[in-house]
Amino acid sequence: MKIGIIGGGGVGQALGAALLTLGHEVTLGIRTPSSEELAKPRPQGKPLAEWSAATGGKVVTMAEAASDADLIINATAGEASIAALTLAGADNLAGKVLIDLSNPLDFSQGFPPALSKQYSSHTSVGEQIQAAFPEAHVVKAFNTVGVGIIVNPGLITKDHDLFLSGNDAAAKATVTELARGLGWKSFLDLGDIKGSRAQETIVLVWLQVMGATGSSLHNLHVALA
C-alpha cells in the first residue's frame, strides 16, 4: 500500500519506518523538504536526511505525500493538523482513508497538560478534520498510546486495546487490518467520529500514568462483565 504520512517528527518517523519494514511504500510529507530542512533535527526524531538514508523512505511536500498515497496518516500536532492537511490539499485527501493520531495538548502551564480550549468542548481534532475535509474517510486511531507501542504492541504482554472511531465502516476495517500488520490484536470501536472526543481525553490519563510510573510502555484494556 502507498502510505503518505503528514508530519516528519518522531512519531511519523517511527511509524513510517515500521510500515516500510512491512512492505508498504511510505512517504513523509513536510512543508519544505529542502536540503537545509532535511538536515535539521526534528521534534523527538532524527534529521529527515538520516531517516531517509536509513529506511529508504522518501521525504516530499505534504501535497506530494497525499497525492500519491492510497492511505494518509496525520502525524502532526493537534493544533496544527487542519493547517497541515490544508497544505496537503483537500482534493488529495478526497475518497481516501485518513488516520488521525493527533492530540490537541496545551502544555502552556507545564505538566500535566490540558486539552486545548478550542478542542475541549463538544468537539475534537478528529471531528474538525472530518468537517474540514468531508470527502475524506477520517478514522481516529493510535492516539492513545506512545509511539513505541504503536509500532510494537507486543511490548505489552497483557491484554490491551486499540481504540478507533470514524463514520465509515470500511475505512475502520482498513485501519484495523493495517494495525494487525503491526501486531495489534484487540480493538474497540467507539462508534462514529464523535468518539474522537473520548480518545483525545484518554491521552490525559495516559500522560498522568506515564508521569506516575516513569514508563511509556502502558495502555488501557476494557474488561467487560
pLDDT tens per residue, range 167-224 = 999 999 999 999 999 999 999 999 999 999 999 999 999 999 999 999 999 999 999 9
CATH number of the CATH domain containing 89: 3.40.50.720
Residue 23 in domain: yes
Residue 148 in domain: yes
Burial of 90 (C-beta count, 10 Å sphere; 0-12/13-18/19+)? middle
Total domains present in the chain: 1
Residue 225 in domain: no
* pLDDT beyond 90 at 120: no
The pTM of the full predicted model, rounded to 2 decimals, is 0.96
Residue 220 in domain: no
Please state the separation of Cα 216 from the chain's center in Å: 17
Residue 105 in domain: yes
Residue 219 in domain: no
In terms of residue numbers, what domain contains 183?
2-213
The pLDDT of residue 121 is 83
